[in-house]
Amino acid sequence: MARNIAFNEEEAIQKAMDVFWEKGYKGTSLRDLTDAMKINSSSLYNTIGDKQELFVKCVKHYTEIRKRDLDKRLAGTDSPFSILVKYIDDAVNVIISGENSCMAVKAAFEVATNDKRVKDILKEDSDYAYRFLHQLIKKAIENGEISDEEDPELLADYFISVWAGWYESYILHKDPIKIKKMARYFIRQISK
Amino acid sequence: MARNIAFNEEEAIQKAMDVFWEKGYKGTSLRDLTDAMKINSSSLYNTIGDKQELFVKCVKHYTEIRKRDLDKRLAGTDSPFSILVKYIDDAVNVIISGENSCMAVKAAFEVATNDKRVKDILKEDSDYAYRFLHQLIKKAIENGEISDEEDPELLADYFISVWAGWYESYILHKDPIKIKKMARYFIRQISK
DNA sequence: TTAATTCTGAATTGTTTGTTTCAGAATTGC
DNA sequence: GCAATTCTGAAACAAACAATTCAGAATTAA
């Protein structure tokens, strides 16, 4: 019988993800990847596949982490509105404290236009965030914390868009106050 | 005395810009560029410079076109508020009718993090749009078309962010209605 | 026409790219 | 321990990459 694979695939993908996240798809060479993953290219090709395949797996990994995060936020006993506010606060803190932008946003602009698989994964990720926001907003409206004149579907889409734009703003201006103000404005607007 | 350059530099940069716009910086090879520009690589290196230099010139060219567009919008006799609404409408139409995203947004995510020159050009471009929006909103508040409780600086930043996010939304969902709804929501919110 | 200068195009540079090969080390079940 | 199987690592692959070279064509002003 055969021996087992000597490297931990999930750990390796995590390492590869970090490199792709920083350098982008085209900006990352296979040597960058194998160096970070600490495996030989033959092992990579025998187990995971080629560069594209690896990238797809990294994006999938990235979105799975985000999915788990959203699930955890729903698991608590906080009110829908306070979950929402906490989520927005945390999103702002991730933007203004991280060196890098969101990998999903970067990949959307660089890769999703050419690679259907990546696009579908990111679309699924976006839809998941949409449903997360949508249900919270809907419940918050029922609780009377958000005005019933607001459209939960629209607001969910709207937040996802502003949030992506905040990353671009922060790349260019590196101004935390700007982002914080916009977040506060968004919350104030939807608050009854 | 010496002969003149046989190719039109601005035309060549326009062609190069189209390629960079579509394929990104890393995704564009020098062959792609010289093919589109219809010049030899030696001519390119003798007149414009290397790939980076060319990209910087292309981004600059892109932002100059946008600058001229904003200036033209201010030149008319329309009210500040209607200039604003028309600008937003046009922005939406560009997003939902174009195959590609905004080059400035794409470049911000792919290149601006590594290349200071590109970042500075894009920052300047963003600041120009900011001033454009800011003055229109301010005047619209003075005219009573926008509530004086709104903060023109915040709203200008806010629109620039949502607008960038709309591009990501459209890449993933290709849903014109989504974008139109969000634009209408933004206009309705600021309308007195 | 001429001499000075500059631009052009084909060929080529060394490097880096993604990918494959294959001999041998490692691990397994029996 | 052994045979079967599979993983590993160094080396090598062709292709693509950005960039350079240089001889000669083209253009200029006198």
Average pLDDT over every residue of A165-184: 98
Query: How many Å from the CA of A26 to C1' of C3?
Result: 50
**How high is the pLDDT of residue A96?**
98
Contact call for B172 and A109, based on CB within 8 A: no
Query: How many Å from the CA of B28 to C1' of C15?
Result: 18
**How high is the pLDDT of residue A88?**
98
Of A110, A165, A189, the CB nearest to B161: A165
- 3-state class (DSSP) for residue B146: strand
Q: Which residue has the higher pLDDT, A5 or A111?
A: A111
Digit-coded pLDDT (tens) for A112-142? 999 999 999 999 999 999 999 999 999 999 9
Digit-coded pLDDT (tens) for A50-91? 999 999 999 999 999 999 999 999 998 999 999 999 999 999
**How high is the pLDDT of residue B8?**
84
Identify, with chain letter, the residue nearest to nucleotide C9 (CA–C1'): B40
**How high is the pLDDT of residue B188?**
95
- d(Cα B83, Cα B85) in Å, to the nearest integer? 6
Q: What percent of chain B has pLDDT over 70?
A: 96
The CA-atom distances, in angstroms, between A25 and each of A15, A28, A56, A98, A157 are 14, 6, 10, 20, 27
Strand D contact at CB of residue A41, distance < 7 A: yes
- d(Cα A116, Cα A19) in Å, to the nearest integer? 22
CB atoms within 10 A of CB A127: 14
**How high is the pLDDT of residue A7?**
76
**What are A134-142's contacts with CB under 8 Å, separation 24+?**
A135/A80, A136/A80, A136/A81, A136/A83, A136/A84, A136/A87, A137/A80, A137/A84, A137/A190, A139/A80, A140/A79, A140/A80, A140/A81, A140/A84
**How high is the pLDDT of residue B107?**
98
**How high is the pLDDT of residue A3?**
63
Average pLDDT over every residue of B95-112: 96
Average pLDDT over every residue of B15-20: 97
**How high is the pLDDT of residue B1?**
58
Give the rounded distance of the alpha carbon of B139 from its chain centre. Answer: 24
Residue B6, pLDDT above cutoff 90: no
Residue A32, pLDDT above cutoff 80: yes
**How high is the pLDDT of residue A163?**
98
What integer best gives the mean pLDDT of chain B?
A: 95
Q: Which nucleotides of D are covered by protein (CB under 7 A)?
A: 4-12, 16-22, 25-29
Average pLDDT over every residue of B111-131: 97
Residue B87, pLDDT above cutoff 90: yes
- d(Cα B102, Cα B167) in Å, to the nearest integer? 7
Ordered structural domains, chain A, with CATH = 60-190 (1.10.357.10)
**How high is the pLDDT of residue A94?**
98
Average pLDDT over every residue of B86-92: 98
**How high is the pLDDT of residue B71?**
98
Specify the residue for token string 């910086």: B25
- The chain B residue lying nearest A189, using CA atoms, is B189
CB atoms within 10 A of CB B15: 19
* Residue B22: both structure tokens together: 């579509």
* Residue A74: both structure tokens together: 């729903």
Average pLDDT over every residue of B131-139: 98
Average pLDDT over every residue of A34-61: 95
Residue B2, pLDDT above cutoff 70: no
